[in-house]
Structure 1
């Protein structure tokens, strides 16, 4: 089976099929428009998206009256940064920007993929953080950079 478009997202569906198969993916695989995956029932699926979009947790790849195939993102090893002031937020944002590390924001938290150097920096700057396994809503997008 080759999937060329996402049908929708399970979070927005009112009527769900009685049976759901899951495709477990690392968050960075969400960025790939072409890939081969296997469901938790052993069904191999090719994904070749025609539209230029990233996959999301809960995206429905296939659906009929009896079955749905849904993407489920695995948890990432992340650092959740919880600055206590705008000054701390500015300091850590500047430091992470200099390192070209992608970050995501959820409410008052900044999320980055785990890196022991970032952990050491947070300890040096005395900025509250926690290391945890957590499902992120979208993949961390690495941004290219040059000093030309």
Structure 2
């Protein structure tokens, strides 16, 4: 039988299941998946909430599932020059690319066109399988100790007030 879970702000306590999800699945408000032990589950969360590594989903029965960010193919940019790394982050952000930012490192979902752009800026980029935790951005609210997204997605078939150079 498929058990349904919901996100509850600040949920804590012992967990009985673990659900390993890539970033794309952690953004879904309604989804079905299989836990690490092979149990089929579904969740229903508020639209715009992005599940983070360590979040907990709770069933009506009180059973808890820990969300784990699964490794996925990402492009990794490492650089000790903060100015050069900032330039790369600017150009990726200008393209609305979800971006994980750490000291001396940027990560984004692998895209060979973006990799070539980064190389053109004078940086080295390589692919690896790692968990992906992008920044949620200034348009997102902070819920339960984690930032969760609330809408700034849009199609790119309209004009913007800024260039996508």
Regarding TM over 0.5, the answer is yes
Residue 30 (1) aligns with residue 32 (2): no
Q: Distance in 1 between matches of 2:21 and 2:65?
A: 13
Structure 2 counterpart of 1:57: 53
Mean Cα deviation higher: 89-98 or 129-138: 89-98
| Structure 1 residue ranges without an equivalent (≥5) | none
CA RMSD, 1 decimal:
3.3
C-alpha displacement at 1:50, in angstroms?
4.7
How much does 1:29 deviate?
0.9
1:69 aligns with 2:62: no
Q: CA deviation at 1:42?
A: 3.0
TM normalised by structure 1 equals 0.71
Cα distance change, pair 114–23 in 1 and its aligned pair in 2 (3 A): same
Instruction: Look at both structures and tell me which one has the larger radius of gyration over its CA atoms.
Output: 1
Structure 2: runs of 5 or more not aligned: 137-148, 161-165
Give 1:100 shift.
Answer: 3.2
Whole-angstrom distance in 2 between the partners of 1:90 and 1:41: 41
Match runs of 1:111-130 below 5 Å: 111-130=107-126
1:147 aligns with 2:145: no
**Superposed displacement of residue 86, structure 1:** 4.3
How far residue 105 of structure 1 moved from its aligned partner, in angstroms, is 0.8
C-alpha distance 69-7 of structure 1, shift in aligned 2 (>3 A): farther
Q: Distance in 2 between matches of 1:72 and 1:117?
A: 29
**Contact 1:7–1:62 under 8 Å retained in 2:** no
Question: Does the C-alpha gap of structure 1 residues 139 and 123 become closer, same or farther in structure 2, counting only changes over 3 Å?
Answer: closer
Q: 1:91 to 1:107 in 2, by over 3 A?
A: closer
Structure ranking higher in helix proportion = 1
CA distance in 2, matches of 1:119, 1:71: 29
Q: Do the aligned partners of residues 88 and 143 (structure 1) sit closer, same or farther apart at CA in structure 2, a change above 3 Å counting?
A: farther
Q: Indicate the structure whose relative CO is greater, using CA pairs within 8 Å and at least 6 residues apart.
A: 1
Secondary structure at the counterpart of residue 4 of structure 1? strand
Does the CA contact (< 8 Å) of 1:58 and 1:72 recur in 2? yes
